[in-house]
């Protein structure tokens, strides 16, 4: 029998407007012209509303890294071979990958989950085996996963977010590793935003223009194959998604239901966030967009979710790396909010006409 997804309909936690208002008032009394810290002020105020406290914090940061493979890789949609997924998971666990270095430098917690790489690598120290299957089916020819696999993947993501919450995390970063996963992410984005493949598709790990055109053809074929088979977010996720994408949808929804703010990474995580926001429209308030990925379709997802990324560094790595790079901004926003003196405390004169 399929695992239950009854939790999917539980509402997201409402934003605490009182805490946000208190944080805004504090910002307005700190020793600076009002608004002069720009988006750092907004970040502290948003985090206050999400965390339900006038004194927000970004720490501890929990990174959940979901790894999986994709049957559609057989269509030649990536610049890299499928074997790179497991090779990179070993590299992440050993500390040599970008996200491992960033997590270490940030003193952030990093949990790595194998939710279905193509072959079972056996035990890897530091990697949780939570395998849904040996990669998804080829979504250009069949549904990527069964309903039972979808439920298992989403529940795996939910359980990971619950572990993060139980461990006291105050900020969640989802990351992913999966050769070929810009193809399911693009297909889902096309289906949900009603856009043709050519508008969303991009080079992923580094396809040539011819490779991108071929990838667009594969995605167009997949969209046509599945078009008549249901268009609810979960139906689309099962047909066009991936195990790591479904797990991230489960983790993101759980975080928003339980009051854990989310720092969103790049294109694939944002595609998962788009699915999650279709299931729970209020979830969008829980999303802080860390960066604008170089993958072109990321812009459309961010626009659809009314996001405003903090950084634009030309990154397109995945792994949660773009979100990790933005953590210091959140830390500094919280430090300023908490530690700056008010005008009264410092004996500094306020602007003429300052109100309260
Ligand atoms: O996060 C992004 O914006 C991003 C953009 C392009 C590629 N990636 C990463 O590259 C892999 C997918 O690219 P591809 O070309 O194999 O579909 C996967 O492991 C992602 O983490 C990630
Ligand atoms: C080397 C490499 C590292 C990655 N990290 C996330 N996706 C990746 C894809 C490749 C190819």
Write the pLDDT tens digit of every residue in 184-201: 999 999 999 999 999 999
Return the best residue to mutate from 318, 321, 326 for the ligand 1 pocket (most ligand atoms within 8 A of CB).
318
Residue 2 has pLDDT above 80, yes or no: no
What does DSSP assign to residue 170? S
As a whole number of angstroms, the distance between CA 320 and CA 63 comes to: 7
| Stretch 116-136: mean pLDDT | 98
Atom 21 of ligand 1, nearest CA residue: 318
CB 40 within 8 A of CB 339: no
Mutational test site, ligand 2, from 77, 117, 177, max ligand atoms within 8 Å of CB: 177
> What integer is the mean pLDDT of 231-241?
97
Please write the tens of the pLDDT for every residue from 292-323. Answer: 999 999 999 999 999 999 999 999 999 999 99
Upper half-sphere CA count for residue 151 (Cβ side, 13 Å): 10
Q: Binning pLDDT at 50, 70 and 90, where does residue 1 land?
A: very low
- Ligand 1 atom at minimum distance from 85 CA: 19
Asked whether 185 and 269 are in contact (CB, 8 A), the reply is: no
**The residue to which tokens 């139980």 are assigned:** 166
Rounded to the nearest whole angstrom, what is the distance from the C-alpha of residue 56 to the centroid of ligand 1?
32
pLDDT confidence tier of residue 118, bands split at 50, 70 and 90? very high
Q: Using one digit for the tens of pLDDT, what is the confidence trace for 151-187?
A: 999 999 999 999 999 999 999 999 999 999 999 999 9
Instruction: Find the catalytic residue in 75, 130, 244, 319.
Output: 319
Ligand 1 atom at shortest distance from the alpha carbon of 175: 21
Taking alpha carbons only, the member of 41, 50, 63 closest to residue 17 is 50
Fold of 58-330: Rossmann fold (3.40.50)
CB of 270 sitting under 6 A from ligand 1: no
Q: Is 244 left (phi over 0), alpha (psi -120 to 50) or beta?
A: alpha
Q: Do 142 and 95 contact (CB within 8 A), yes or no?
A: no
pLDDT at 356 over 90: no
Q: Let me know: does 241 contact 144? Beta carbons within 8 Å.
A: yes
pLDDT bracket for residue 352 (50, 70, 90) = confident
Task: Please report the pLDDT score of residue 353 as a whole number.
Answer: 73
**CA nearest neighbour of 63 among 265, 257, 232, 354:** 265
* Residue spans of beta strands (DSSP E) within 69-224: 109-116, 127-129, 171-177
Question: What is the distance in A from the centroid of ligand 2 to the CA of 77?
Answer: 14
Task: Round the average pLDDT of the chain to a whole number and report it.
Answer: 97
The CA distance from 190 to 239, in Å, is 13
| Residue 319 among the catalytic residues | yes
Average pLDDT score over residue span 99-128? 98
Q: How far is the CA of 354 from the centre of ligand 2 (A)?
A: 52
- pLDDT(14) > 70: yes
C-beta of 268 in contact with ligand 1 (< 6 A) = yes
Q: Which residues line ligand 2 (CB under 6 A)?
A: 80, 84, 88, 177, 205, 317-319
The answer to whether the CB of 177 falls within 8 A of the CB of 268 is no
Give the closest ligand to the alpha carbon of residue 68. 1
CA distance 160 to 112: 10
Q: Are 297 and 200 in contact (CB under 8 A)?
A: yes
The average pLDDT across 28-49 equals: 98
């Amino acid at each position: 029998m399929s695992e239950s997804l009854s939790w999917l309909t539980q509402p997201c936690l409402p934003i605490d407007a009182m805490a946000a208002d208190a944080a805004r008032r504090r910002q307005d009394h700190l020793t600076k012209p009002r608004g002069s810290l720009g988006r750092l002020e907004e970040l502290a105020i948003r985090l206050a509303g999400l965390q339900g406290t006038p004194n927000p914090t970004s720490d501890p940061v929990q990174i959940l890294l979901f790894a999986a493979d994709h049957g559609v890789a057989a269509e030649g949609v990536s610049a890299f071979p499928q074997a790179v997924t497991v090779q990179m998971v070993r590299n992440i666990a050993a500390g040599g990958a970008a996200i491992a270095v960033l997590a270490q430098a940030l003193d952030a917690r990093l949990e790595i989950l194998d939710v279905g790489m193509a072959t079972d690598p056996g035990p890897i120290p530091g990697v949780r085996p939570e395998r849904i299957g040996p990669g998804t089916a080829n979504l250009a020819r069949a549904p990527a996963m069964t309903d039972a696999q979808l439920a298992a993947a989403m529940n795996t993501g939910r359980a990971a977010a619950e572990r993060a919450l139980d461990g006291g995390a105050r900020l969640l970063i989802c990351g992913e590793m999966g050769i070929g996963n810009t193809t399911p992410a693009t297909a889902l984005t096309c289906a949900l935003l009603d856009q043709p493949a050519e508008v969303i598709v991009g080079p992923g790990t580094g396809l040539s223009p011819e490779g991108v055109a071929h990838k667009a053809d594969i995605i167009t074929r997949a969209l046509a194959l599945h078009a008549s088979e249901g268009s609810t977010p979960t139906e689309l996720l099962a047909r066009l998604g991936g195990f790591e994408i479904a797990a991230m949808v489960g983790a993101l929804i759980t975080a928003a239901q339980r009051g854990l703010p989310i720092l969103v990474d790049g294109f694939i995580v944002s595609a998962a966030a788009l699915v999650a926001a279709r299931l729970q429209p209020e979830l969008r308030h829980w999303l802080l967009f860390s960066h604008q990925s170089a993958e072109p379709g990321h812009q459309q997802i961010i626009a659809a979710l009314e996001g405003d990324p903090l950084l634009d560094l030309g990154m397109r790595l995945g792994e949660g790396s773009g979100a990790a790079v933005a953590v210091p901004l959140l830390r500094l926003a919280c430090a300023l909010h908490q530690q700056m003196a008010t005008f009264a405390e410092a004996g500094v004169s306020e602007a003429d006409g300052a109100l309260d």
